[in-house]
């Protein structure tokens, strides 16, 4: 396990909202006094300097001063799983080197958020998957899930697969709920995920529309997610007390 305060962000599928949630969490945790770093170790679909790619989005949305090649050590232009993108480019991922980069990044921060790629069993080359990579890092995980029908099953399967690798799941974030969506399961899915997967749901982030600002994302995360399990993980008791006062126990001041 890499020493330091880290969190590995995965999801039930690609396109569920890892980048948006990770960027929002970096900003929100910073607001609570942490110096937070962010990485997307393997990015496919966009080269690292492409502003539409996850790395540049994470860098811009979090206003990070870290050079992009530290945030995104590997990138490929093909929009396929990292293992296949690397293979088709005639390359392979050097896991030991990646682990060293992560080690360096976590050392210089109070906390480091790592965005995976796609879902939990996405191939990254040489028979490895994101699960193997996350297990080599050894950090607790956060699962980003869809709001709608199918999410209880997908989330519970992902949580079970993570625990099978001996890693903990700090919580689930449901991302992209649309208040106008009439689907009758929506108000129940968070509770059903907690029951079926036995995991805390930190909250539900609404769909912010086509245009939103990083500040708006930060405010949405701070008002819709319970960050206490993450703060607890990183053992900042002072901040946890503050978070409790701010969100769940207005009578105890």
Ligand X SMILES: Nc1ncnc2c1ncn2[C@@H]1O[C@H](COP(=O)(O)OP(=O)(O)OP(=O)(O)O)[C@@H](O)[C@H]1O
For the annotated binding site for Mg(2+), the residues are 19, 54, 115
**Is 18 a binder of Mg ion (CB under 5 A)?**
yes
End-to-end CA distance of the chain: 39
Where in 191-250 is the site for Mg ion (CB under 5 A)?
none
Of 52-60, 88-96, 148-156, 227-235, the segment contacting Mg ion by CB under 5 A is 52-60
Q: Which is nearer to Mg ion, 56 or 93 (CB)?
A: 56
Q: CA-to-CA distance for 132 and 242, rounded, in angstroms?
A: 36
Q: CA-to-CA distance for 216 and 222, rounded, in angstroms?
A: 10
Strand partners, 129: 123
Q: CA-to-CA distance for 214 and 24, rounded, in angstroms?
A: 7
Q: Would you tell me which residues interact with ligand X (CB under 6 A)? A: 11, 14-20, 54, 118, 175-176, 205, 207-208
Binding-site partner at residue 175 among ligand X, Mg ion, none, CB < 5 to 8 Å by type: ligand X
Of 14-22, 69-77, 98-106, 234-242, the segment contacting Mg ion by CB under 5 A is 14-22
Phi-psi region of 65 (alpha: psi -120 to 50; beta: other; left: phi over 0): alpha
Do the bridges between strand 128-129 and strand 123-125 make them parallel or antiparallel, or are there none, so unpaired? antiparallel
Annotated binding site for substrate: 44
**Is 24 a binder of Mg ion (CB under 5 A)?**
no
Q: At 115, phi and psi to the nearest 5?
A: -90, 125
Residue 41: CB atoms within 10 A of its CB come to 26
Q: At 144, phi and psi to the nearest 5?
A: -95, 130
Q: Which is nearer to ligand X, 144 or 240 (CB)?
A: 144
Binding-site partner at residue 205 among Mg ion, ligand X, none, CB < 5 to 8 Å by type: ligand X
Catalytic residue numbers read 40
Of 13-21, 93-101, 213-221, 227-235, the segment contacting Mg ion by CB under 5 A is 13-21
Q: Which is nearer to ligand X, 15 or 33 (CB)?
A: 15
Residues that bind Mg ion (CB under 5 A): 18-19, 54
């Amino acid at each position: 396990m890499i020493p330091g305060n880290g969190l590995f962000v995965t999801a039930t599928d690609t396109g569920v909202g890892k980048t948006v949630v990770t960027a929002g969490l970096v900003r929100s945790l910073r607001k609570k006094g942490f110096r937070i770093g962010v990485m997307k170790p393997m990015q496919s679909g966009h080269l690292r300097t492409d502003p539409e790619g996850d790395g540049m989005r994470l860098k811009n949305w979090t206003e990070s001063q870290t050079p992009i090649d530290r945030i995104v050590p590997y990138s490929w232009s093909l929009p396929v799983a990292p293992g296949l993108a690397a293979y088709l480019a005639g390359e392979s991922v050097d896991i030991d080197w990646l682990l060293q980069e992560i080690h360096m990044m976590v050392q210089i921060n109070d906390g480091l958020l790592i965005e995976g790629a796609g879902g939990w069993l996405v191939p990254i080359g040489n028979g490895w998957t994101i699960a193997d990579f996350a297990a080599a890092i050894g950090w607790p995980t956060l699962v980003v899930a869809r709001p709608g029908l199918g999410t209880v099953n997908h989330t519970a399967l992902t949580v079970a697969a993570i625990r099978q690798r001996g890693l903990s799941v700090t919580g689930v974030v449901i991302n992209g709920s649309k208040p106008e969506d009439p689907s009758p399961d929506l108000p129940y899915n968070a509770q059903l995920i907690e029951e079926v997967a036995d995991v805390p749901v930190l909250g539900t982030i609404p769909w912010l529309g086509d245009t939103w600002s990083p500040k708006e994302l930060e405010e949405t995360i701070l008002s819709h997610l319970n960050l206490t399990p993450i703060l607890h993980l990183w053992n900042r008791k002072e901040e946890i007390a503050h978070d409790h006062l701010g969100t769940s126990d207005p009578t105890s001041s």
